[in-house]
Copies of this chain bind each other. A is one copy, B any other.
Amino acid sequence: MPTTSTTTNKRLAQGARSRGEILDAAERMMAVRGFDGTSVADIARESGLPNSSIYWHFTSKAGILAAVMERGAERFFVAVENPPRREGESPRDYLGRAMHAAGAVLVEQPDFLRIFTLLTLSSEDEDAREIVARVRAHGRASLVEMIGRAFAEVAPDRADAVGEATADFALAAFDGAFLALQFTPTGSHEQLMDQLAGALAALGGDALENLA
């Protein structure tokens, strides 16, 4: 593992570069072949570094996955910020805009999402489950906020409750859209996002009534 001493910056820089290259290689390969299907030797070959150098930067293969996910989650969290609401905008219109923005992550970070989804399905590993839980919770929170913001004007008091009531459905549809895209890479995620916005507007309206 790298020392934190104040040796020449060049070494530090080179170290960081190598680390990044390993993570890039690992992310690319694991997205395609999965965690088990990607060997440390594969990552070494892909990154151009010798096998053993990987163990200087990471303690284990699982450690690489953890680092890939950590970096990916960071980027993901940055990307899923909801847009501000425009005055007078209907819930349906806001949801359309926000969902469209959120959908960008489907095509911009497919590698991260593939590994993430694979992890959702196979994680017996404790560390992995924790990351999955954190990312899912964050994604859900973002959807809760999005839906809440959509209904903030028409029902300021019950907006949050509406978000809470429909977020799981929204998250499921979002996940499913990603899955569909994996199988049909040419598919239109934009139509799916738009339909999801429509669905949430309707479901939200229903929930609003039930909460009355």
> Could you say which residues of chain B place their CB within 8 Å of the CB of A176?
171-177, 179
Copy total for this chain? 4
> Chain B residues near A179 (CB, 8 Å)?
117, 120-121, 172, 175-176, 179
Chain B minimum-CB-distance residue to A39: B36
Instruction: Give the one of A168, A171, A172, A183 with max B CB within 10 A.
Output: A172
Task: Please provide the chain A residues from 167 to 204 with a CB less than 8 Å away from any CB of chain B in the complex.
Answer: 168-169, 171-177, 179-180, 182-183, 187, 191-192, 195-196, 198-203
**Pick the contact of A173 from B32, B37, B173, B202 — CB < 8 Å?**
B173
Q: How far is the CA of A182 from the CA of B18 in the complex (A)?
A: 36
Q: Name the B residues within 8 Å of A200 (CB-CB).
A: 199
**Does more than half of chain A's interface fall in helix, strand or loop, or is it mixed?**
helix
Residues from chain B with a CB closer than 8 A to the CB of A198 are 202-203, 206
Residues of A within 8 A of B (CB): 32-34, 36-37, 114, 117-118, 120-122, 124, 132-133, 136, 166, 168-169, 171-177, 179-180, 182-183, 187, 191-192, 195-196, 198-203, 206
A117-B121, A169-B199, A175-B176 known; 17 new pairs, CB 8 Å cut-off, are A32-B122, A32-B124, A34-B121, A36-B37, A118-B122, A120-B179, A132-B183, A168-B191, A169-B192, A169-B195, A172-B173, A175-B179, A175-B180, A176-B176, A176-B177, A199-B202, A202-B202
